[in-house]
Structure 1
Amino acid sequence: MEGGKEAWKEVKEVKDSNDKSWQLLEKVLLAGVQEQKRSRRWGIFFKSLTFIYLIGVLLVFSPQMNLPSGAGGKGGAHTAVIELKGMIDSSEQASADNIVGSLRNAFADKNTKGIVLRINSPGGSPVQSGYIYDEIRRLRGEHPDTKLYAVITDLGASGAYYIASAADAIYADKASLVGSIGVTAAGFGFVGGMEKLGIERRTYTSGEHKAFLDAFSPQREDETRFWQQVLGTVHQQFIDSVKAGRGERLKADEHPELFSGLIWSGEQALELGLIDGLGSTSFVAREVIKEENIQDFTRQPSPLERLSRGLGTSVAERLALWMGFSAPALR
């Protein structure tokens, strides 16, 4: 009997000891979980704080970065310079929004003695080019005492020349490439390749000509004629604008090939009346505007705009490129 009691006592002591061990282990595990939760909460807090700080910095400095470096009349009398560089497109730096905004700031500045639109571009969208052309003509009318000069560096072709023709005068280097007064719309045709691969095209449309630009379908003669008429209309608009901007300086009667899409050197362009003189930006500022102090009025993209531009070329544009079709462009 005594032996049984002793044995039961030992079993109970072991059980109590095990319970205490489990309780201790449970407390340690709970403490670890709680510590992980606290660490996670602090991590989220500091990450959120950093994110809010960065957003605040962007919001504070973005408006300032949108302003041209010479805005506000700082630095006294100056020649305002605006860069038009690269493809003229609504999603590029040389968009109508950016160039027009820069032009308005330059014309509005009371210390601006003259403006140089420095061009290095192969052209691009006829719509964007037309917007800029029209705004230059409007601003020149509002500020007749402030002259605007286009200076072509390496290249001033197609839509870029369209814009330049709105200026009071155009200058270029003797080796610059100038002109290319024409319109292009390019694409690919995959019909032959599909036939070789045994691929059948199935297109469902409402409207007889809805799919007339489809790269996977055969071309039709009537649709080709229609598209050529569209391009011809845009080309004529281009020609009319250049003639209105250049006036009698353009020797179009003597050289009808001016509107054929050909491109010339700066030296040749001077003889054809496409430009008014040979010279650089500093030459125009010093010798023509008579103000050597140059202020850059080019609108710079904010960090948010650069981020969105890096992330955000539209699906439609990519799809159009993949299908082999591009919209009409002044080139």
Structure 2
Amino acid sequence: MPNLLHRLIPRRWRKKTPLVHVVRLQGAIGVGTPFKPPLTLEGIAGTLERAFARKGITAVALIVNSPGGAAVQSALIHERIRALSAEKNIPVYTFCEDVAASGGYWLACAGDEIYADASSIVGSIGVIAAGFGFVEAIRKLGIERRVHTAGESKSILDPFQPEKPEDVERLLGLQRDVHEEFKTLVRTRRQGKLKGEEAELFSGAFWSGRQALTLGLIDGIGHMRDVMRGKFGDKTEFKVIAKPAGWGLRRLGFGTTLDPASGLIDAMELRALWARFGL
């Protein structure tokens, strides 16, 4: 009863208690379907603004559950969180759920401290590009591929044409650039904390939360409420800052142009991202 009465009293009239705003960063980054929107800066920006807007909050807690995805969106979301943290002088703590890998770990690094469950999957600091080659398939089906370009590299890595070594090298060069950005970010955000050899840490491998702690990729094993109350006291309160729910026609897919083929490909790509980590 005393706790209920405490909650009924407006916060400005209560004895000050620690308040933590909680933001969930869930899903594949930049990859989605009509019914599972991707995690992007455009989609999460308003939620982040509201999470840092209130004066007097103690901290912002990020709950990350993502297998990765687009590097640019990972960087944009990370930078926005860090900018708001610096602007409002509010510390950020990250809590990894099932998986914070690849771009998911990029997001996790937005926290001043990172925590995970002992069984969380953490890491995968690398860059990947995957696809299929259908050259022999269309030949057997008697299909003729017709491509007309202005620019000799416009059809680079076309899955219906034989792969060219120079095209692969161009792709690998792009991947090396993105990988270096990722490694620089991890070195900066985890400065003085990394314990493993860089050749291992940046190999694209992933680890359990317990192993990630040994390697210095996270700061501890623990869950959000326990860790935050351990830091700020048992009376710490939590408020989830979520995107307003709305069941409009657009959310259901009406009013948009839905391409069944591309929707299926998106769903397969999304499934493949999670499946890499056994989920």
TM, length-normalised to structure 1: 0.69
Q: 1:317 to 1:139 in 2, by over 3 A?
A: farther
Q: Deviation string for 1:199-240 (max 9, x for gaps)?
A: 221211111111113111111111110011111111111111
| 1:105 match | 50
Looking at structure 2, the residues matched to 101 and 73 of structure 1 have their Cα atoms a distance apart, in angstroms, of 23
* Within-5 A mapping of 1:286-297: 286-290=229-233, 292-297=236-241
Q: Secondary structure at the match of 1:235?
A: helix
Superposition RMSD in Å: 3.0
Q: 1:163 to 1:181 in 2, by over 3 A?
A: same
| 1:133 match | 78
Report deviation, 1:251: 2.5
Q: Deviation string for 1:176-201 (max 9, x for gaps)?
A: 11001111122111001122223221
Looking at structure 2, the residues matched to 228 and 267 of structure 1 have their Cα atoms a distance apart, in angstroms, of 32
Looking at structure 2, the residues matched to 309 and 78 of structure 1 have their Cα atoms a distance apart, in angstroms, of 37
Q: Is the 8 A contact 1:151 1:280 kept in 2?
A: yes
Looking at structure 2, the residues matched to 265 and 131 of structure 1 have their Cα atoms a distance apart, in angstroms, of 26
Q: Is the 8 A contact 1:285 1:294 kept in 2?
A: no
Q: Secondary structure at the match of 2:163?
A: coil
Match for residue 117 of structure 2 among 170, 173, 177 = 173
Q: Is the 8 A contact 1:106 1:112 kept in 2?
A: no
Match for residue 83 of structure 1 among 24, 42, 45 = 24
| 2:136 match | 192
Q: Secondary structure at the match of 1:304?
A: coil
Report deviation, 1:77: 4.6
Q: Is the 8 A contact 1:213 1:325 kept in 2?
A: no
Q: Is the 8 A contact 2:157 2:168 kept in 1?
A: no
Q: Deviation string for 1:267-324 (max 9, x for gaps)?
A: 00001010001110111221124353110012234333752656647659928949x9
* Within-5 A mapping of 1:1-331: 77-89=18-30, 92=37, 94-144=39-89, 146-252=90-196, 254-290=197-233, 292-304=236-248, 307=251, 309=253, 312=256, 315=259, 318=262, 321=265
Q: 1:97 to 1:257 in 2, by over 3 A?
A: same
Letter aligned with residue 110 of structure 1: K
Q: Which moved more, 1:215-224 or 1:95-104?
A: 95-104
Looking at structure 2, the residues matched to 179 and 152 of structure 1 have their Cα atoms a distance apart, in angstroms, of 11
Contiguous gaps of at least 5 residues in structure 2: 1-9
Q: 1:242 to 1:113 in 2, by over 3 A?
A: same
Looking at structure 2, the residues matched to 73 and 219 of structure 1 have their Cα atoms a distance apart, in angstroms, of 63
The structure with more helix, counted as a fraction of residues: 1
Looking at structure 2, the residues matched to 265 and 325 of structure 1 have their Cα atoms a distance apart, in angstroms, of 24
Q: Is the 8 A contact 1:175 1:265 kept in 2?
A: yes
Q: Secondary structure at the match of 1:160?
A: helix
Looking at structure 2, the residues matched to 186 and 125 of structure 1 have their Cα atoms a distance apart, in angstroms, of 13
Letter aligned with residue 131 of structure 1: L
Q: Is the 8 A contact 1:79 1:294 kept in 2?
A: yes
Q: 1:245 to 1:282 in 2, by over 3 A?
A: same
Looking at structure 2, the residues matched to 266 and 310 of structure 1 have their Cα atoms a distance apart, in angstroms, of 41
Q: 1:85 to 1:126 in 2, by over 3 A?
A: same
Query: How many residues are aligned here?
Result: 254
Identity of aligned residues (%): 39
| 1:66 match | none
Q: 1:123 to 1:298 in 2, by over 3 A?
A: same
Q: Deviation string for 1:143-201 (max 9, x for gaps)?
A: 22x21100001111111100111211000011111001111122111001122223221
Q: Deviation string for 1:102-159 (max 9, x for gaps)?
A: 2221212124211110011111111111111111221221122x21100001111111
TM, length-normalised to structure 2: 0.81
Looking at structure 1, the residues matched to 72 and 99 of structure 2 have their Cα atoms a distance apart, in angstroms, of 20
Q: Is the 8 A contact 1:177 1:266 kept in 2?
A: yes
